Structure 1
Amino acid sequence: MPVIVSFMPLSCAFVNLKPGVGKTTSAVWLAHALHELGLSPLLVDGDPAASALRWSELAGGFPFPVIALPVGDVHRRVNDFLGNRQAVVLDAPQMEDHPRITRSIMRYAGEWIVPVTPAPIELDRMAPILGEMADVQSLRAEPARTAVLLNRTNRPDATRTGPDADAREALTERGFEVLNTQIARLDLYAQSFGNSVQAKGSAYMDFAEELIERQDEA
C-alpha cells in the first residue's frame, strides 16, 4: 500500500510532564517505522540525557540522522538540519524539569503525542498537561494536533472492557483524544535500547500509519 504524504513534513513530538513514560522508546521506534515506510525521517533528541542519540551509537547507527538539540530554541534550529526529509520525530525531555526545551519543541511540532501507561497514578498526572498545552498553543500560528498514545498496555489491541478500555474512557472524558493504536507491554520494546530496531509487523508501524492518516486529513 503506497504512502501518500502532503507537501508539509510530518512532525511529531513526544511530550509529558514526567520522565519514564516511554517517550524515547516511542520516538526511536516511530522513526524506524517511518523510515521503513520510505519517509526518510530526522530524529531530534531534545533531552539533555541524550538517550536517543546514545541508543543510535550503541546500535552502530540508525539508518537516518539523529541530532542532539537540548536547547531552548529548538523550533528555530530544526529546519537547518531537515533538508528534503519528509518527517521529523522529536523526543522532548520531561516538562517538569526542562520546560523551556519542551515548549520550544512543542512550538515546532505539528503533532503532540503524550505516551501514557493505563495505570491510575499515571492518569492522575495528566490534568496539568492540558494547561501546558493551552499555553504553548497560544504561541503558535496554527494549533498543533494533540493525542494520547496508550503505552505499555495489558493487551496489544484496544478492547471494550478491562483496565486499558477504562483508561481510554477516562482520558476521553478529561478532554484528551486517544489514538486508536496502543502499544502493548512487550519485551520486544522494553529491552530494545541499544539494539537495532525492525518496526515491520509491530504496533509502531500501525502507529506510524495512523499519524500519516491524521496528517493527510489535516
Structure 2
Amino acid sequence: MPLSCAFVNLKPGVGKTTSAVWLAHALHESGCSPLFVDGDPASSALRWSELADGFPFPVVALPVGDVHRRVNDFLGSRQAVVLDAPQLEDHPRITRSIMKYAGEWIIPVTPAPIELDRMAPIRSEMDEVQSLRAEPARAVVLLNRTNRPDATRTGPDADAREALTEWGFTVLATQIARLDLYAQSFGSPVRAKGTAFMDLAEELIKRQEAE
C-alpha cells in the first residue's frame, strides 16, 4: 500500500500547506515518488507549484467532497500520496473525505496554549471519521514552528509534547523549527535535503512499514 498522509486542522494558518509541500519534496528526494493532492479550494499548493515552475511530482487539485473516491485515479505506480486538506471549520465535507482516504492524519500544532486548546474538538472530529473507516487511520501530531529544531526536556516545546501525550495523542519524534527557510518559501523551489522534513519523511515511512 502506498504511504498516504493528510495534513488536517480546524483552522487555517497552522502550516498545513507548507508542511505538506515540504514533506512531498522530502519524499521525492528520498526516492519515494509522491502524488500531491491539493484539497483546499484556495489551491495554495497548486499555485505554489506554478510559481516555482513546477514541482518534480504531479499536483492534482481536488477540492471536492468525494476525494477518497478519486485519488486512486491519479495515483498510478506512485509510492506515496500527500494530501493538503482545507480547514475543517469551513470545509468539513472535503476534509472528512480526505481523512477517509489517508492512512496517516498529521495534525500540525504550534506549542502555544491557543493551539493546544483546539485539540479537543479535533479529537471529536477524528473519532467521528474513524467510525466511518473500514480500518482506523494512524493519527499523529507534528510539532511545528517550535523554538528549537530538536525535542528538548524543558521549555514550551517539551511542555506541549508532554500535555499532548497525556491527552492520548501520538506526537512524532520529528519536530519542525520556526525558520524563515520554511515560512518564506511559498512560491519558491524547495530543496528538502538537510532539513527536518527529511527526518519527517523517514519517520513516516518507518511507521508505514511497521504496520
The two structures have a TM-score, normalised by structure 2, of: 0.99
The answer for the alignment partner of 1:206 in structure 2 is 199
Aligned to 1:69: 62
CA distance in 2, matches of 1:182, 1:135: 27
Distance 1:19 1:114 in 2: 12
Aligned residue for 1:149? Answer: 142
Q: Is 1:43 aligned with 2:36?
A: yes
SS of 2:126 mapped into structure 1: helix
| Aligned pair partner of 1:137 in 120, 130, 139 | 130
> Given residue 34 of structure 1, which amino acid in structure 2 is its aligned partner?
L
Structure 1 residues without counterparts, runs of 5 or longer: 1-7
Partner secondary structure for residue 43 of structure 1 = strand
Q: CA shift at 1:134, angstroms?
A: 0.6
Q: Deviations over 1:31-88 (max 9, x none)?
A: 0000001111000000000000000000000000000000000000000000000000
Could you tell me which residue of structure 2 aligns to residue 32 of structure 1? Answer: 25
Selected match of 2:12 from 1, 11, 19: 19
1:125 aligns with 2:125: no
Counterpart for residue 196 of structure 1: 189
> For residue 9 of structure 1, what is the aligned residue in structure 2?
2
Is 2:174 the partner of 1:174? no
Structure 1 segments (4+ residues) deviating >6 Å: none
Task: Determine helix, strand or coil for the equivalent of 2:174.
Answer: strand
Deviation at 1:126, TM superposition (A): 1.1
Which of the numbers 158, 168, 173 marks the counterpart of 2:151?
Answer: 158
Question: In 2, Cα distance between the equivalents of 1:167 and 1:156?
Answer: 15
Deviation at 1:199? 0.4
**Cα separation, 2, equivalents of 1:110 and 1:215:** 9
Q: Name the SS of the counterpart of 2:159 in structure 1.
A: helix
Identity of aligned residues (%): 86
Normalising by structure 1, we get a TM-score of 0.96
Structure 1 vs Structure 2 CA RMSD: 0.4
